[in-house]
Structure formats: structure tokens, C-alpha cells
Chains A and B, each alone.
Chain A
Amino acid sequence: MGSHEHEHDHEHEHSELDETELRVRALQTILTEKGYIDPAALDAIVDTYQTRIGPRNGARVVAKAWTDPGFRDWLLRDASAAIATLGYTGRQGEHMVAVENTEQVHNMVVCTLCSCYPWPVLGLPPVWYKSAPYRSRAVRDPRGVLADFGIALPPGREIRVWDSTAEVRYLVLPQRPPGTDGMNEDQLATLVTRDSMIGTGLPRTP
């Protein structure tokens, strides 16, 4: 979507984006004048996703699952309830399922039809998740997608792709990296990348 293909399209696209900026300002003005929106609510929404809801939430879920076997089992059985105890609930995460990576299976989550994504634990989806290359290829050539992320899985590993076509939202529980035995939850959380919780990456190693 919106890719730069030819130089002469670049200028056209630039003025289209300026037009979009004007359109957004017009909408904001009109909707405020009509009383449809509270402008302070707009700021609160943006602030929420810029500072309070993001992938560090999911990293805490994963780190807790790595250190607490009871929480891990609960997460795999009833992710919505387990995650709710950490306070990460709500819009686009009402019905959560956690799927664990193992030596046998690597999981990858996509929404081929739009951009469905578990916002309460991962925040706003990255632009690639919402774009045609990922949405088209993840369900057909996940190893090719992983190669785009610089990841090569062992040849025998199965790949399970979850297409989020309804309101169930998926969180990948990556494997705990080796060499992390002494680490506490906060330290472990720093190893958990956003991409590893979608399935297009692996956690960092210490």
C-alpha cells in the first residue's frame, strides 16, 4: 500500500499527503464544531497508544509465563483471564489466545483481510503487518517472510499460521532463550521483541 514505484509519482503522492493533512484538519474542525467529538479525547487516545499501551505489555506477559509455570499454563488455557490480571484488557484484545512456540512448531499471526492485532498487549500494529506483502505471503510462504526478517528456522520445524479472521486475537509465546536462568522478569522482558510475539522474530539472547 502507498509504495513509491516511479519518480514522477513521488510528487503526486507528496501533494496527496498534504491533501490528506488538510482533510484531517477539516474533519477535526467540523466534528468539534458539531459536538461529535471532545478534542481532549483525541489527545487522550493518542497519548494512550504512544505511552501506555504497547508491546512492552506483551513482553511482561511473556516474561511472567517464562518464570511462573502456573501462569504459563493459565495463559495457554485462558489467555484473556490470565492477561487481565496484568491489566491489559479491552479494545481489540477482548478474546485472547496465546500460542506457544516449541521445538516442533513455530507460530505466526496475520490478518489477511485487514489488520486485526492484539492491541492491549502489543499496541498499534506495525505498518508491515497491515500491508499487502505480509497479508498475502504469511499464509503461503511464512519461511520467505521470516527470511525478510533475517530469520531461518531449522528445516524440520513446522510453521503454524493463524489468520485472525474474527475477534479472537493471538499472542505468540516465544521459547525462552538459553542462558537466561538467573534473570528476573524485568530482565527477561527486555529480551522479548514485538516481532517475536507476532511470530516474525525470535527473542533476543543475553
Chain B
Amino acid sequence: MSAPYSTHADLGGQLGHGPVVPEDEGILFHEPWEPAALALVLAMGATGSWNIDMSRAARETLPAYARLSYYQIWLAALEKLMIDRGQLLADELAGGHMLHPPVPLQRVLQAADVPAVLARGSPTWRADPQPPRFGVGDRVRTRAHPVPHHTRLPGYARGKVGTVERVHGSHVFADTHAHGLGEQPQPLYTVVFEGSELWGADAAPGLRVSVDAWQPYLEAA
């Protein structure tokens, strides 16, 4: 029996995390292993074994999320993704060497292809014959209840009324894409909320906050 989906990453609006500590532009890494961690995750991400939504789901559900550093989260999620696909086994990690034959991959990222692959990225826009349901200026209400799967509607913006500000066309839908249910592109909107709608009468004056919401998150208000 698998545990219900539980994200530890929905931090918007939480109190008590302390001050933001600025950092000089020139600083990229804080531990000697971080560059390799970045490169391993990107290189394995380029094999077609999973998509970025699956990566995010693997990261946000790590039980140790709150106490791990950013790249530690990346590494733990990478291990999880690979172990789930039989690409890596626990005894190999423990021993530090390959013990089992490799699983065939769709592709391997070669050094010469790195610039082109990074410059191409992974666009999520998809041509969609179905017209978007909402237009700029429409009032919409976001889904009020939490869901037992990866989603990109933050808790602080659930059940809130806002205004459609931009219509981005249809994009790969993270909620399904993260769980192997396909791209299922949905119209994507920037929806803006008054601060008071999100935080009540004590909200910071002059504050407006937007999220980028797929159509299934929205209903007409």
C-alpha cells in the first residue's frame, strides 16, 4: 500500500522561516560536490527517462525535504527516480560501483550536444484546437480543496477569486504529466489576486499576487 501523496514544498505564506539572507551574484555553489550534483541531475534529465514534473514530484515528496539543502534534495530525488526505474539499485549506491547491468536508455547526453540541448530546452506550449474558456478580465475562482497528487496550485491561492490577466495558450499539464498520465495540455492563465483576498484585512497594502494556473484549477466566479 503506497502512502498518500504529500508535498513538503508548498511554502507560500508560511510564517516563521526567518529573514532572507542576500548573496553576492558571483556565488554559485556552497559545497564542493554541488557542481557535480547539478550536472548529474541535468545529464540524467536529458535521457528521456522522466520529465521535469516527475522530478518536481520526486523532490517535493521527500520526507527529509525541510532539512535537506537544495542540491541534497536534487540528489535524493535523482536516486529515487533511478531506483524506481531499476536504473540504479541500493547495493550499488552503497558500494559505489555498478553491480547490475545497465537498463537501456532513450538517449545519453554527449558533451558535444550540451550547448544545443541547453539552448533548446523543453518548451511546454502545445497547439490546441480547443479554445480557452476564459479571457483577459474574467473573474475566476480557484479550486478550493487540496488534491492527492502533484499540482501547481499553491495552498495560499486555493479557493480564491482573482482576475485573468494573461492567456498563455495551452501548455503541458503538470498534474497529469508528473504521474505518467500524459501531457494533456490545458489552457494556462496568469491569474492575479488582491492581497486582501489572499491574506485578509491585515494584508500588506498595495499588494497583488499572481499565479500561473491551468484551466482545470479554475471556474468562473
Contacts and interface: CB of A to CB of B under 8 A. Distances in A.
Given A95-B125, A113-B10, A41 B210 contact: no
Interface of B: 9-15, 17-23, 25, 27-28, 30-33, 35-40, 42-44, 47, 56, 59-60, 66-70, 72-73, 75, 78-79, 87-88, 92-93, 95-98, 102, 105, 108-111, 113-115, 117-125, 152-154, 156-157, 166, 168, 171-172, 174, 188, 190, 192, 198-199, 204, 206-214
A136 B13 contact: yes
A48 B15 contact: no
B208 A165 contact: no
A24 B75 contact: yes
A150 B59 CA distance: 32
B121 A93 contact: yes
Contact of A35 (B9, B108, B115, B166): B108
A24 B33 contact: yes
A90 B118 contact: yes
A92 B11 CA distance: 21
A155 B35 CA distance: 42
Q: How large is the interface on A (under 10, 10 to 19, 20 to 34, 35 or more residues)?
A: 35 or more
A177 B72 CA distance: 39
A92 B12 CA distance: 21
A137 B43 contact: no
Contact of A141 (B111, B122, B204): B204
A184 interface: no
Contacts of A22: 96
Given A26-B93, A115-B70, A36 B204 contact: no
A98 B98 CA distance: 46
B72 A36 contact: no
Contacts of B211: 163, 165
B108 A112 contact: no
